[in-house]
Structure 1
Amino acid sequence: MPSGSCWCGNLQYEFSGEPIMKATCHCLACRKVTGSAFSLNALLPKAAVKVTSGTFKTFTKAHENGMLLTITFCPECATTIYKEADDVAFEDKVILQIGTLDGALDSLGPEAELWVQHRPGWLPEFAGAVQKQEF
């Protein structure tokens, strides 16, 4: 069962099954949440993700497309573990930050790139990834 944690190790989780989708996201919210040019995400059923250790905090703010985006993060080191959105496409799902996994990165390459209109000009397309304007 794949598992992961925050930077300080306080918040640990595991998940079962295969991701519904694996994607990079270049939306402005993901840039701010990660502090990077994009986020690398795995969409999973919420029931498949279990926090196994530690406590977490959440923060909710409107996404640029209008939906509410809630981030779940470690209150000690501020690592974002996953996001949830109130859009029907994300109902009962979490958007896991793949970089928090303790391994398995090689098997979780992106199948899609989202919000590509915000991808920096210096960053090429990910080979084989479907290109989308939004989600």
Structure 2
Amino acid sequence: MAKGSCLCGDVTFEYQGEPAAKAACHCLPCRKTSGTTNSYNLMIPSDKYKILSGSLKTFTRKGDSGKNVTYNYCQKCPTVLYVQAEAIDGINIVKMGTLDDEDVYKNLGKPAMEIYTKNRPSWCQAIEGAQQKEGGS
């Protein structure tokens, strides 16, 4: 069981099992929420993810598909813990940087996919061996 939290520690969570997928995303919203060139995301089935403490706020926008994308973040600090996209129902897109368990974090391995590579800066190298997609699907 992996555990994680937000920056201030108010919101804590855990998930069971292995991620269904691991992806680096270079879309503009991921760049903005991560403050860097991309975000590393773990696709965790919603029924395997549990908030243990704290309260979340949400922000919803329309994704490229026209479907809603909802960001779940701490009420006290700006940490986005996970995202839910109607286009991939039943999955919590967990931000890898929110993991607290160093052993889990170190042993996850690199993402198997990079998406929205059309937005990747020219100086940022592709992840070797990862499937490359210009868009999100």
State the TM-score bracket (shorter-chain normalisation): over 0.9
Equivalent residue for 1:100, pick from 98, 117, 130: 98
**TM-score, L = length of structure 2:** 0.92
Q: Which residue of 2 aligns with 1:31?
A: 31
Amino acid at match of 1:96: V
Query: TM-score, normalising length from structure 1?
Result: 0.93
Q: Which segments of 5 or more consecutive residues in structure 2 lack a partner in the other structure? A: none
CA deviation after TM superposition for structure 1 residue 37, in Å: 1.0
Runs ≥4 in structure 1, deviation > 6 angstroms? Answer: none
Measure, in 2, the Cα distance between the counterparts of 1:2 and 1:81: 14
CA RMSD of aligned residues (A): 1.1
After the TM superposition, which residues 34-113 of structure 1 pair with which residues of structure 2 at under 5 Å, given as runs? 34-87=34-87, 90-102=88-100, 103=102, 104-108=104-108, 109-113=110-114
SS state of the match for residue 127, structure 2?
coil
Q: What code does the residue aligned with 1:132 have?
A: K
For the Cα contact (< 8 Å) 1:28–1:64, is it kept in 2? no
Identity score, percent: 39
Aligned to 1:113, the other structure's residue is in SS state strand
Number of positions where the alignment pairs a residue of Structure 1 with one of Structure 2: 133
- Structure 1 regions of 5+ residues with no counterpart? none
